[in-house]
Amino acid sequence: VRAKAQIDKKGAALKREDMARHLGAHLCRCTGYAKILDAIECVAKNEIPPLAAAGGVGSRTVKHEAEALALGDRGYIDDMRVPGMLHAALHLTAHARAGIKAIRTDAARAAEGVRAVYTASDIPGELMVGIIHKDWPVMIPVGGCTSYAGDVLAIVVAESRAQARAAAGLVEVDYEVHTPITDVDVALSTSEVAVWQTKDNVLSTSTYQRGDVDAALASSKHVVRETFQTQRIEHAFLEPEATLAVPSGSGETRRLHVYSGGQGVWDDRNDIARVLGLANDRVTVELITNGGAFGGKEDMSNQAHASLAAWLLDAPVKCVLSREESLLMHAKRHPIRMSYEMGCDENGKLTALRVRAVGDSGAYASVGMKVLERMAGHASGPYHLPSIDVESIAVRTNNPVGGAFRGFGANQAQFAMEGMLDRLAELAGIDSWEIRRRNVIQPGMVWGPGQLMDDGCNGALACLEAIKPHYDEAKKAGKAVGLGLGLKNSGLGNGFKEVTRAVVRIEDDGSLEVRHGWTEMGQGINTVAMQVAIEELGQHLAIDERRVRVVVDTTRELGLGQTTGSRGTLMGAGAVQDACRTALKAGLTRGIDHVGEYRVDWTTKLGDPGVTNPIIHSTFGYATQLVVIDRETGKIERVVAAHDVGRAVNPTLCEGQIEGSIHMGLGYALSEDFPADPETGFPTNMTLRSLGILRAKDVPPMKVMLVESPQPNAPYGIKGVGEIGLVPTAGAVAKALHELDGVWRTHLPMRRGNSEED
């Protein structure tokens, strides 16, 4: 509406920076605003580009269902209505660490419109859920103990949402309040256990060593020691969590159909069945396109609560979290303290690295142990270190849960690693670009945990070389310049057996249906599936994109695990490719399902002593980013990003992912924070406005360059792009600020431009 008003008022004279200012009240977490402003500019100038026809891999095909999405015709869970639907609201704890002595629900039960109130004692199956460890209680029972601010104590079901929420406020709880453990050092040293039903406060420890670090450091020409601290931040997806659960049938044929926006509907199904005491095949979880996630919808939020209420009442129940509940309940990015010690020789060649890291993983496991494991594995960035010694510890506290968030530990590690590299460059008398070129990982070299790198790592040097002219130009112009180089795995790796399947079906009328099991959350996995089908079958069939139906199918075993780890495009494309080739082998028979499969089952666990040449991850993406600051204004003038995508399935979608990642990376570097009160464990920033997310007017111009350095053994050479885009950003910003004022940064966010935490 604001754009329309400005276009009507100014027409072709509308300036991009003015439109960005008028969008100041709007929040977009996905795009970095770049594509939005591009579209507004095109309309203002009446220069509408022609729509690209649907094509195969490498084409700029318009996003699948783009019109419906842009016009708001593709509904979300909260838009869904079914006959007889009731509404659930949750009663959350008032204390992050407290024993539950009593829960009184009489007043809530007597409130207008209330159909039922449930507590933990009403759960027919298991109390605990979780992606990896089953340690997260659906509700805290009487006699139990709360462990963080998002713990649920009761579910209230009523005829309307307003009635349910009002009645939830009438639930009364008697607490035995304990002092929350909110400091990781206290958690590691105390004999008290922070989290109910756990034995100690160490969630996990990840370690590996190569070479003699002490000797290598002792013989190094230059050695730098520094401690870095990153902050907790919130995903800030625009659609809060919502679930609709609908029971059907009776007796042994009774089933539950759950509509979810989660990132792992298979894990959700299994845990919901656990809670209800049912076999998995009696629960179906159907994915409804969600409004963003970034890792924040991997864990269950209200799925089990809506399902429990629907099952016990034998009626459809919807539960939608408020923004405050969403902020309290779902996992956040880990704050991590990282102590680095690194050396180089007189030529700036790295000799050894020692890292000790401690991450605040909050109360429940989520995937916290894997985040700290990933941080450890990526501790050396995309560089060759002859000797290395890394240890990372995930610590349980009574702070908000730490879990999956775009970057998954790699961005924390590489903020520190890039800072160390720049400090050594200064001591060695070489510039930021040159020290990276001298140490960048190349095929045949051993990376970090001991992995012998293949030709896929050519992308790291290619990204450096792509950025060089822009780096030289900015330096020559006297700008304050920061450079960051990063890598990020695609896929889970670390010994996981990853398998995914897809189905291609050619109907009698010539239309094409593609089914897969990946969560579509705006990243474009449905578009990728369509393009792969066109790539494989377009020479054999007359394919009209209007007659291609892409379905996220969670009614059969097509998926495995979470849509996470920059693996959706990589694995989804592989499965659809295989399904299409199965169809070709079958003579393109119509009216039957042609099934394809893609698997990555050859990786090894980090630090496994029994493996000589470990393959920690099958695929890596690489990125170099240049941050240019104007010395007079102190503002970021532009960001130039060269990203190795392996093969760009859809360049437009790749650019959008990278622009959105840069926006998020700049916020992570400069302004975003989600602190918790050390006295209570409760978050202190409880609105979207308070999170420090950059608005359109704050985002500098971005230039994205796609580098294609194919990954061996990956379909079409694909590498994931969902996370790598914000891995090098904070380090690049820190170096640009150092060039501006001479101060080395060690803490995020870097609001006030000093080296200490704000």
Ranges of H-type helices in 635-716: 651-670
**pLDDT value for 566:** 64
**pLDDT value for 754:** 38
Please say whether the beta carbons of 33 and 23 come within 8 A: yes
Averaged confidence pLDDT in the chain: 92
Where b means 16+ CB within 10 Å and e means fewer, 74-88 reads eebbbeeeeeebbbb
**How far apart are the C-alpha atoms of 570 and 647, rounded to whole Å?**
10
pLDDT digits (tens, 9 = 90+) for 661-698: 999 999 999 999 999 999 999 999 999 999 999 999 99
| Other beta carbons within 10 Å of 428 | 19
**pLDDT value for 27:** 86
**pLDDT value for 753:** 43
**pLDDT value for 752:** 45
Confidence grade of residue 176 (pLDDT, cut at 50, 70, 90): very high
**pLDDT value for 604:** 79
The DSSP-derived string for 200-215 is SSEEEEEEEEES-HHH
Amino acid occupying residue 219: S
**How far apart are the C-alpha atoms of 411 and 3, rounded to whole Å?**
34
The mean pLDDT of 704-732, rounded to a whole number, is: 93
The mean pLDDT of 584-607, rounded to a whole number, is: 87
The mean pLDDT of 573-577, rounded to a whole number, is: 90
Shortest CA distance to 245 belongs to which of 321, 330, 315? 315
**How far apart are the C-alpha atoms of 235 and 60, rounded to whole Å?**
28
| Residue 678 burial (10 A CB sphere; 0-12, 13-18, 19+) | exposed
**pLDDT value for 562:** 58
The mean pLDDT of 417-429, rounded to a whole number, is: 99
Confidence grade of residue 95 (pLDDT, cut at 50, 70, 90): very high
Shortest CA distance to 649 belongs to which of 564, 528, 748, 752? 528
Confidence grade of residue 52 (pLDDT, cut at 50, 70, 90): confident
**pLDDT value for 561:** 60
Question: Is the bond leading into 749 cis (omega within 30 degrees of zero)?
Answer: yes
**pLDDT value for 167:** 99
- Give the pair of three-digit tokens for residue 290: 């969600």
Q: What are the Cα distances from residue 263, in Å, to 293, 442, 552, 567?
A: 8, 34, 12, 12
**How far apart are the C-alpha atoms of 24 and 18, rounded to whole Å?**
10
**pLDDT value for 292:** 82
The mean pLDDT of 452-469, rounded to a whole number, is: 96
Q: Is the confidence at residue 392, as pLDDT, over 90? A: yes
pLDDT digits (tens, 9 = 90+) for 214-235: 999 999 999 999 999 999 999 9
The mean pLDDT of 501-526, rounded to a whole number, is: 83
Please state the three-class secondary structure of 98-118 as a single string.
EEEEEEECHHHHHCCCEEEEE
**pLDDT value for 234:** 97
**How far apart are the C-alpha atoms of 424 and 343, rounded to whole Å?**
8
The mean pLDDT of 11-16, rounded to a whole number, is: 92
The mean pLDDT of 43-59, rounded to a whole number, is: 86
Q: Which residues pair with 336 in a beta bridge?
A: 359
In 3-state terms the chain splits into helix, strand, coil percentages (rounded to 5) of 30, 25, 45
Q: Is the confidence at residue 727, as pLDDT, over 70? A: yes
Between these two residues, 613 and 119, which has the higher pLDDT value? 119
**How far apart are the C-alpha atoms of 653 and 568, rounded to whole Å?**
14
**pLDDT value for 190:** 98
Residue ranges and CATH numbers for the domains of the chain are: 2-50 (no CATH), 81-178+238-292+297-329 (3.90.1170.50), 203-234+331-493+608-741 (3.30.365.10), 498-600 (3.30.365.10)
**How far apart are the C-alpha atoms of 490 and 721, rounded to whole Å?**
8
- Lowest-confidence pick of 123-132, 420-429, 450-459, 607-616: 607-616
Q: Is the confidence at residue 563, as pLDDT, over 60? A: no
- Helix-helix angle 410-428:651-670, to 10 degrees: 70
**How far apart are the C-alpha atoms of 679 and 180, rounded to whole Å?**
7
**How far apart are the C-alpha atoms of 139 and 381, rounded to whole Å?**
40
Provide the 8-state DSSP code for 554.
-
The mean pLDDT of 728-748, rounded to a whole number, is: 98
Please say whether the beta carbons of 513 and 283 come within 8 A: no
The mean pLDDT of 409-421, rounded to a whole number, is: 98
Ranges of H-type helices in 45-181: 66-70, 106-110, 161-168
Between these two residues, 520 and 168, which has the higher pLDDT value? 168
**pLDDT value for 554:** 67
Roughly how many angstroms between the first and final C-alpha of the chain, as a whole number? 37
Q: Is the confidence at residue 564, as pLDDT, over 60? A: no
Give the CB-side neighbour count of residue 21, counting CA atoms within 13 A.
Answer: 6
Confidence grade of residue 78 (pLDDT, cut at 50, 70, 90): very high
Please state whether beta strands 336-344 and 222-229 pair in parallel, antiparallel, or not at all (unpaired).
antiparallel
Give the CB-side neighbour count of residue 485, counting CA atoms within 13 A.
Answer: 29
**pLDDT value for 601:** 80
Please say whether the beta carbons of 506 and 583 come within 8 A: yes
Strand order in the sheet with 317-320: 114-118, 152-158, 86-92, 317-320, 242-248, 255-260, 283-287
User: Considering Cα of 361, then 378, then 720, then 700, what sign does the dihedral take?
Assistant: positive
Phi, psi of 258 (to 5 degrees): -115, 125
**pLDDT value for 756:** 41
Provide the 8-state DSSP code for 713.
T
- Lowest-confidence pick of 4-13, 117-126, 667-676: 4-13
DSSP reduced 3-state for 11: helix
Please state whether beta strands 350-360 and 336-344 pair in parallel, antiparallel, or not at all (unpaired).
antiparallel
Q: Which residue has the tokens 């002595």?
A: 101
Please say whether the beta carbons of 21 and 54 come within 8 A: no
Please say whether the beta carbons of 379 and 256 come within 8 A: no
Q: What is the pTM of this model?
A: 0.93
Q: Which residue has the tokens 């560089």?
A: 383
Q: Is the confidence at residue 758, as pLDDT, over 80? A: no
**How far apart are the C-alpha atoms of 699 and 694, rounded to whole Å?**
7
Between these two residues, 549 and 752, which has the higher pLDDT value? 549
Q: How many residues are listed for the chain in this entry?
A: 758
**How far apart are the C-alpha atoms of 326 and 302, rounded to whole Å?**
10
Q: What are the Cα distances from residue 625, in Å, to 108, 464, 696?
A: 55, 9, 20
Shortest CA distance to 318 belongs to which of 622, 86, 523, 609? 86
**How far apart are the C-alpha atoms of 509 and 503, rounded to whole Å?**
18
**pLDDT value for 757:** 39
pLDDT digits (tens, 9 = 90+) for 335-360: 999 999 999 999 999 999 999 999 99
Please say whether the beta carbons of 363 and 403 come within 8 A: no
Confidence grade of residue 1 (pLDDT, cut at 50, 70, 90): confident
**pLDDT value for 253:** 92
pLDDT digits (tens, 9 = 90+) for 272-327: 999 999 999 999 998 887 878 888 899 999 999 999 999 999 999 999 999 999 99
Please state whether beta strands 451-452 and 446-447 pair in parallel, antiparallel, or not at all (unpaired).
antiparallel
